[in-house]
Every structure is written in structure tokens, then in C-alpha cells.
Amino acid sequence: MTNHQELLDAQPKVQRLRQDFPILNRPLVLGGKPRTLVYFDNAATAQKPRSVLDAIRSYDENANANVHRAIHSLGEEATRIYEASRDRVKTLLNASSREEIIFTRGTTDSINLVAQSFAKLLSPGDEIIATEMEHHANLVPWQMVADQYGLKLKFLPITDDGVLRIDQLPVLWSPRVKLVTLAAMSNVLGTINPLEEVIAFAHERGVPVLVDGAQSVPHMRVDVRALDCDFLAFSSHKMGGPTGFGVLYGKKEWLEKLPPYQGGGDMIRSVWLDHFEANDLPYKFEAGTPHMEGAAGLHAAIDYLDAVGLDWIHRYEGLLLDYAMEQLKGIPRIRFFGTAPGKGGIIAFLLDGIHAHDLSAFLDSRGVAVRAGHHCAHPLARRLGVVSTARASFYFYNTKDEVDAFAAAVRDASAQL
Ligand SMILES: Cc1ncc(COP(=O)(O)O)c(C=O)c1O
């Protein structure tokens, strides 16, 4: 079967799935004309299916109470819902134990947790390796601790096509390297990095690896035991779950070694006026009343993604990407950023001579929502030699017809702007 045929054959399934997303079916009036929304800003945040909206609402309507502290039935029910979500994340990731699943505010919070805690185990002059394609969330937290503890940051470069120069890993390596941190998939280039190779190289030298899974966990099956990563961070809102909620997976032996990140309720076993004893995992890293609706919603989002099929999602987004690239390629003045083989469903592009913001405003007037800017990756934009790009990013509920509408709008922008 050709990829075209496979894409066409998938459309009835996608149309059925779209019925689960109220926002995708909302009426839109632009310039006085009715339009259907083409939402291609999924790398920024994804839309939520009704089952997630229901789970959040149901938690608040039927079970809301503070978790872990109550001896009353409602509090016990709230705790059951919150902890069931942790078990669900554990099975999603194939983690070894529920103690390895820490609930956070999102990818950014998860990486700050590791950076702040891990750096306390390091000495001045120790080194951390990241890459040139990192989101600020996997860059600035390391800059902050590098400043605080006298650490040195080193960066794996990329090729002009946006492929990670993994050949440079042995060149950058030194006995002072204590951690490697990198995105599974770039939020600008769409490049899917060779995590297995990086992890094997670092582990042979006894060094742990943190994976920024913000763009991978929503779009493909991620098995932390098969991957053997030491930490994995991701956000609920990029996979159809609620905002302000996310996960840090950490291998138990590492989480046990790391000191707590924030202090407050729930993360303690006992407190005296002058000191405290930290709680057991995973609570040691969960200070304060958590985002309980977030846990309920993420549970529903994972159930939804599993029912759709994460392997199918990955395959389908690849078909959409290939089709979109075919439609866009011949458009005069178009330039792409990131053409790594096997990349994920993200297209960063420009029309020469047109500012990305003008391009995105033009597309918006046609009902097509794309992002324009540096996409929280200033150093990567500098490496690519641009200030900003437009970015279309797909999710499994996007259709071939939407790609056609998008390509037609880009073609018109090229002719008219
Ligand atoms: C690769 C990557 N890392 C980290 C983040 C930060 O995620 P959040 O803002 O949900 O914490 C993003 C968000 O765009 C991302 O794409």
C-alpha cells in the first residue's frame, strides 16, 4: 500500500476521533466568514478529548478533598483517584515501580527538580552535556545550577539539516562529565534523537541521562526500561491532559540519592523546629497540595491515547508529515528548518522575505493556527541563522484535508505577501 493510500484509509478513523474533541468542532468566524479551525499548534499544547474534560469535572463534582491527609471517606476517594493516576503512568512508561513516578507541574518543573537536586551532588568543575537543539526548559535550569555550583555546560552540535552530531560525544567527553541531558524530539526541528546510542555511551562511563520527553511521550510509545534512561520529563497538556501538570520518571536508585527539591507539606515524614526528615518516594518530591484534577485528567488522557494506539499515532503523524512536505515543497520562497530522516510531525518553515509573524497572521486569517517565533529555543534559532520561524505541528486528530487547506494558504501567502 502506498503512503497516500494509507493516509486516505486512515481518514474515517480520524474523523471519528475528532468527534471526541469539542474544540475541534467549534464554529469559527474570521473576517465575517465562517471557517473551520485547523489547529496545527499541537507542539505548544494539544486539545483535550471529552473524556478528559469529564474526568476533571467529575473529580471536582464528586471527589474533591485534599489527598493523603484525610481520615474521611471523601479524602480517601480523592487519594485513590490521585494514586491510581500514578499507577496508570507507571504502566504507560513500563516503569519498575510507582515510587519512580513523581507528579510535577510539567516538563519545566520536572527538569528544574533534577537540575536543582542533582547539582547538590556535584563539585565545581563537573560537567553536564546538553545539545544545541534544547528547549529553554532543558537549558536555563542547567545554566542556573552551573552558575550556582561552578559547573561547566557542553553542547552536542547539530548539522545544518538538524541532525544531532552524536559523533561529537566522544570528543566532548571527559571524566568530569556527570550527566547528559537531551530532548527525545526537538520541538522546532522535529528531529528524533538517537537516545539509545547516547544512553549506552553514557552508561558505559557510569553517567546518567535525562530525557526531555515533552515531544515524545504524547506521540509514540516510550518504555523507560527498554530505553534505560535515568530520568524522563513530560507534560500532561501536550498529550490531551490538563495544564499545569506533568511527570518526572526517575530510576529509584537515583531518586533515593537526590535530596528533596522543595519543602512543605507531604514531602516530610517528621519535622522539628530546626530540621526535617524527608518522606519516602515518591512523596519526598511532591511538596504541598498537588494538582489533583490534573492527575484525574492525565489518567483519562493516557487511557484515551492507549485506546487510540500510540504506535498508530506515531505512524499516522509520519504519513501526515510526508504528505504535508510533498504539498509544501514546490511553493516559491519556502525554506524548511529540520529535515532529519524519520523526524516527527513538526514543520518549521519560512517564506523568504516574509516575517514569520506576518506569515502566521496570514494563515490565521484562513483559519490555520500555527506558531511563529523562536519556540523557546533561542540558541537553536541562532544556530539556524534566523530570528523566528513559523511552525506547524500535527497530532493524530489532524486530517489530510487540513493539510490541503494549510498548503493552499501557504501558497497564497507566497503569492500575495
Ligand atoms: C521539547 C520541550 N521541552 C520542554 C518543554 C516545556 O514544557 P512545559 O512548558 O509544558 O513545561 C516544551 C514545551 O514546548 C518542549 O517542547
From 135, 375, 380, the mutation candidate for ligand 1 (largest count of ligand atoms within 8 A of CB) is 135
Q: Is residue 155 part of a domain?
A: yes
Please state, in angstroms and as integers, the Cα–Cα distance from residue 223 to each residue in 158, 230, 321, 361, following that order.
Answer: 26, 12, 24, 39
Looking at the structure, tell me whether residues 335 and 244 fall in a common domain.
Answer: no
d(CA 337, CA 382) in angstroms, rounded, equals 12
Please check whether residue 74 lies inside any domain of the structure.
yes
> Span 81-90, mean pLDDT?
98
Domain limits for position 399: 3-42+309-416
Determine, yes or no, domain membership for 315: yes
- Grid cell in block for residue 159: 548539522
Mean pLDDT of the chain: 97
For 315-342, write each residue's pLDDT tens digit: 999 999 999 999 999 999 999 999 999 9
Same-domain pairing of 116 and 234: yes
State the total domains in the chain.
2
Of 158, 281, 376, 407, which one is the catalytic site residue?
Answer: 376
Which ligand 1 atom sits nearest the alpha carbon of residue 235?
10
pLDDT on residue 97: 98
Q: Whose CA is nearest to atom 9 of ligand 1?
A: 108
* Residues 359, 386 within the same domain: yes
Residues 201 and 107 in one domain: yes
Please give the pLDDT value at position 62: 96
376 part of the active site: yes
- 294 with 148, same domain: the answer is yes
Give buried/exposed letters for 216-234 (b at 16+ CB in 10 A, else e). Answer: bbbbbbbebeebebbbbbb
Q: Residue 1 above 70 pLDDT?
A: no
Confidence of residue 32 (pLDDT cuts 50, 70, 90): confident
CA–CA dist 155, 78 (Å, integer): 44
Residue 301 covered by a domain: yes
Residue 178 CA to residue 128 CA, distance in Å, equals 6
Q: What is the pLDDT of residue 31?
A: 78
pLDDT at residue 70 in the model: 80
Please tell me the predicted confidence (pLDDT) of residue 106.
98
pLDDT tens per residue, range 404-413: 999 999 999 9
> How many Å lie between the centroid of ligand 1 and the Cα of residue 107?
6
- Asked if 374 contacts 356 with a C-beta cutoff of 8 angstroms, the reply is no
Assess whether 30 and 72 both reside in one domain. no
- 105 with 234, same domain: the answer is yes
Do residues 125 and 175 both lie within one domain? yes
Per-residue model confidence (pLDDT) at position 203:
98
Would residue 47 count as lying in a domain?
A: no
How far is the centre of ligand 1, averaged over its atoms, from the C-alpha of 270 (Å)? 35
User: Which pLDDT score is estimated for 333?
Assistant: 97
Task: Mark whether 231 and 276 lie in a shared domain.
Answer: yes
Q: Which residues contact 179 (CB under 8 A, 6 or more apart)?
A: 118, 128, 129, 207, 208, 209, 210
Is residue 300 located within the same domain as residue 313?
A: no
For residue 236, what are the contacts with CB-CB under 8 A and spacing of at least 6? 106, 242, 243, 245, 246, 247, 294, 297, 298, 301
For residues 83 and 97, state if they share a domain: yes
Can you give the CATH number for the domain in which 115 is found? 3.40.640.10
* Digit-coded pLDDT (tens) for 265-314: 999 999 999 999 999 999 999 999 999 999 999 999 999 999 999 999 99
Q: pLDDT tens digits, residue range 171-182?
A: 999 999 999 999
Average pLDDT for 344-351: 98
CA of 371 to the centre of ligand 1 (A): 14
Q: What is the pLDDT of residue 29?
A: 85
Which residue among 110, 186, 187, 247 is best mutated to probe the pocket of ligand 1, counting the most ligand atoms within 8 A of its Cβ?
187
In a domain, 76, yes or no: yes
Q: Point out the domain boundary residue: 307, 342, 363.
A: 307
- What pLDDT sits at residue 47? 98
Confidence of residue 27 (pLDDT cuts 50, 70, 90): confident
Boundary-marking domain end, from 307, 322, 357: 307
Query: CATH number, domain at 11?
Result: 3.90.1150.10
Share of the chain above pLDDT 70, in %: 100
178 in a domain, yes or no? yes
373: enclosing H helix or E strand: strand 371-373
Q: At residue 141, does pLDDT exceed 80?
A: yes
Of 272, 307, 342, the residue at which a domain comes to its end is: 307
If asked whether residues 237 and 272 sit together in one domain, one would say yes
In a domain, 199, yes or no: yes
